[in-house]
Chain A
């Protein structure tokens, strides 16, 4: 049994995968439904035939999207640049927050009477686990349909969220750096700091690189054929 809504949803997805804006997709969606209605009302076609005919008349997604991009090529490039910068900023915010958590890990371990090296290693583990969780969550959220639709408030919400995360991380780091040297000997503090610094580097560079490559190879994204191709049933 042909499901018009499902077919249209699938078609919308193909447009969205080619980075067409939601508002433009909505407009084409209405056009398609108007055309289907008009074709079926005249009795020329079943809903399924009407859908395929209307879709053809409108143009296949691979022809349609470049026409829009011709109009605002510079805008598309700018938007990609903004997303890259947003990723960079989000990475910074997450790093700050996890740094704060890792420092808290050192404080708690030190308060429990562990040596500087052990405290430092614990903070490294906290950092590693934190990045892994963020990364897993991030890859899952990349699947289509996971994010709520973008609206006028989304940009502000993201900015506020990043700022909040950064401030929290900084507050944690600050509190710990006030508190730690007062409760540890200089030697213990030095030991823990050495592990934390080295560990943070290893995790932010080596571990993340390894995870990105592993996930990339496993999912096929690095082999260049990552675009999901779906067909309407």
Chain B
């Protein structure tokens, strides 16, 4: 079970990275994160939307409404150029943390 703090901290890079794979909408993003993490990353669903709202306000993502074949109106998000840059920065930082931890653990022969 991943702690609340870690989930909160990883939401932004997670959303940016999912959207880097292509345009998507809230419900599908949640499903995708659940599948990719093998169920280890369990988001409280309502948390995602304020995050999307903030990322859009910060111009890292843009949105458009589109009606699906079932007639349901969905808000699709995609990365902006700034969002792509932010995603790369996040990746560097997370990988740096990850590599450091692995190096420490490796040294300790865990």
Q: Which residues of A contact B (CB under 8 A)?
A: 23-24, 26-28, 30-31, 33-35, 57-59, 63-64, 67-68, 70-72
Contact = CB atoms under 8 A, between A and B. Distances in A.
B57 A35 contact: no
B46 A58 contact: yes
Provide the main secondary structure of the chain B interface.
Answer: helix
Interface stretch (B16-24, B48-56, B87-95, B96-104): B48-56
Contacts, number: 52
Contacts of B73: 26, 30
Contact of B47 (A31, A34, A59): A59
A67 B47 CA distance: 7
Contacts of A30: 25-27, 72-75
Contact of A71 (B27, B57, B74): B57
27 contacts: A23-B75, A24-B49, A26-B75, A27-B26, A27-B75, A28-B49, A30-B25, A30-B26, A30-B27, A30-B74, A30-B75, A31-B26, A31-B27, A31-B49, A33-B72, A34-B27, A34-B72, A35-B27, A59-B44, A59-B47, A63-B46, A64-B46, A64-B49, A67-B47, A71-B53, A71-B54, A72-B53
A58 B45 contact: yes
Given A31-B27, A35-B27, A57-B46, 13 more contacts: A27-B49, A27-B75, A28-B46, A28-B49, A30-B72, A31-B49, A33-B72, A34-B27, A34-B72, A58-B45, A59-B46, A68-B50, A72-B57
Nearest to A66: B50
A24 B73 CA distance: 12
B50 A70 contact: yes
A59 B27 CA distance: 14
A28 B47 CA distance: 11
Contacts of B27: 30-31, 34-35
Nearest to B30: A31
A58 B26 CA distance: 11
